[in-house]
Amino acid sequence: MANGLVIAASASLGDSLFLIVTFILLLLLVKHFAWGPVIKMMDDRAKKISDDLDGAATSRQQAEKMAAQRQSELKNSKSEALQIVNTAKENGEKRRQEILTAAQNDAAAVKVKARNDAEQARTEALNSARQDVAQISVDIAEKMIGKELNAADQKDLIDSYIKGLTTADETR
């Protein structure tokens, strides 16, 4: 008990006060010079890391989107090229058909015209020959008979004769 009293008597309350004041000062100083900046740096680092991760995810997404877009564009251009080639082929075919048709038409027209011409020439030649033959026959008959026939009668006679010839000719 006496010993306890000695301890109590020798206890110096000033130390406690001194410790509290010093400790609070230490808290303030450490907070200002070390804790604040270090914690700020640690928080910044944590924030930066999470930001970087987010950024990486975003840019990867973007890259994937762009790749998909490029892929679809490539597919489109392929089909477009195919279409162009097909159109060209079709056009060529059409053109060929047109030229062919035109040529055929031309050829047919030329043929028809030539036939018509030939027919006309033949008819004309036949007509003129018929007239000539009639004239010649009349002349010969005049000469041979020496008798002046009525020209109209003669002509009728010869025409009927020639008609008989031509029918005979056609039937043959």
Partner 1 sequence: MESKYQYLTFLGLRFNLANCLSILITAGLVFFFVFVLSRKLTLKPGKRQNVLEYLIDFTNGIVKSIMPGDEGKPFYFYIFVLFTFILFSNMLGLFFQVRVGGFTFTKSPTADPMVTMPLAMVTLLMSHYFSVQKFGFKGYLSNYVHPVGFLLPINLIEEFTNFLTLSLRLYGNIYAGEVLIGLLIMVAQSMGLVSAIIAAPMTMIWQGFSVFIGAIQAYVFSILSCVYFSRKLEREE
- Please report, as ranges, the residues that interact with partner 1 according to CB under 8 A: 11-20, 22-23, 25-27, 29-31, 33-35, 37-39, 41-42, 44-45, 48
Cβ(154)–Cβ(147) below 8 Å? no
Complex with partner 1: residue 23 or 161, whichever CB lies closer: 23
Query: SS3 for 108-148, per residue?
Result: HHHHHHHHHHHHHHHHHHHHHHHHHHHHHHHHHHHHHHCCC
Complex with partner 1: residue 12 or 150, whichever CB lies closer: 12
Beta carbon of residue 26, minimum distance to partner 1 (angstroms, whole number): 5
Beta carbon of residue 51, minimum distance to partner 1 (angstroms, whole number): 12
At which residue do the structure tokens 């100083």 appear? 29
Complex with partner 1: residue 14 or 146, whichever CB lies closer: 14
Cβ(156)–Cβ(150) below 8 Å? no
Beta carbon of residue 3, minimum distance to partner 1 (angstroms, whole number): 13
Beta carbon of residue 59, minimum distance to partner 1 (angstroms, whole number): 21
Q: Residue 32 has what DSSP assignment? A: I
Complex with partner 1: residue 53 or 63, whichever CB lies closer: 53
- Helix and strand numbers, DSSP H then E, in the chain: 4, 0
Cβ(165)–Cβ(133) below 8 Å? no
Complex with partner 1: residue 16 or 83, whichever CB lies closer: 16
d(CA 98, CA 93): 9
Cβ(142)–Cβ(155) below 8 Å? no
Beta carbon of residue 60, minimum distance to partner 1 (angstroms, whole number): 23
